[in-house]
Amino acid sequence: MRRSPLFALPIAGVVACVVATPAVSASAQQSDLAISPFVTLVPTTGASPLAGLALTLGSGMFAIRGSGHLALENSNTSGLLDANTTRPWGADADAMLFLGRSYGGSRSLAPYVFAGVGTSGGPSSSFDSRQSNWSYGAGISLPLGSLIDVFGESRWRMSQYVLPSADGAPSPRNEYRVGITFHVGGR
């Protein structure tokens, strides 16, 4: 008895779905959750360092990261915990691409690039100001063991949603961030 080619296509599609499903679930199981306390330095403003926390969720070469930071002190006040002031703060959401990260038995030095959007605020004259921004940068992560990394990165922050090369565009503000990463899930 001869089989019709019309039946072969649906059967091949079902087999392809069954074969692809374990690969997709294995990829989802390899996602990594990381918690990273850090310190941000903004040398051009002379402001107090900012301390923050980032949460990163990634799989393989790609990751997304959310972070927030707050100034360690407010330069407009005499005390660290003065209740009537607002210390400078910021929050970012970044897409990350790791260029050389290896998983499994050994992890190695991992350079990465990122781009994202953010918001920041703080006292300006006699009122609190907030501004939206976008940023891009590069960094490097060095494993200290199977679950801990140290990292350093440089971020260029644009205070407006314009390209750095546009006419009349403000100069990007440079920031440096250093911290430690604790991997808590997935691998």
Q: d(Cα 163, Cα 173) in Å, to the nearest integer?
A: 13
Helix (H) or strand (E) holding 24: helix 5-29
pLDDT in tens, 37-70: 999 988 876 667 899 999 999 877 899 999 999 9
Q: 179 near 37, Cβ under 8 Å?
A: yes
Residue 77 C-alpha from the chain's centroid: 31
The pLDDT assigned to 11 comes to 39
Task: Say how many C-beta atoms besides its own lie within 10 A of residue 75's C-beta.
Answer: 13
Report CA-CA distances (Å) from 145 to 105, 142, 149, 180: 11, 9, 7, 12
Whether the model pTM is above 0.75: no
CATH number of 31-185: 2.40.160.20
Residue type, 88: P
Positions in the chain short of pLDDT 70: 1-31, 45-47, 74-86, 101-106, 123-128, 160-166, 169, 186-187
Q: Residue 7: how many CA atoms within 13 Å on its side-chain side?
A: 3
Could you tell me the two tokens for 138?
């590069």
Could you tell me the two tokens for 37?
């306390």
The pLDDT assigned to 167 comes to 72
**Residue ranges of the domains in the chain?**
31-185
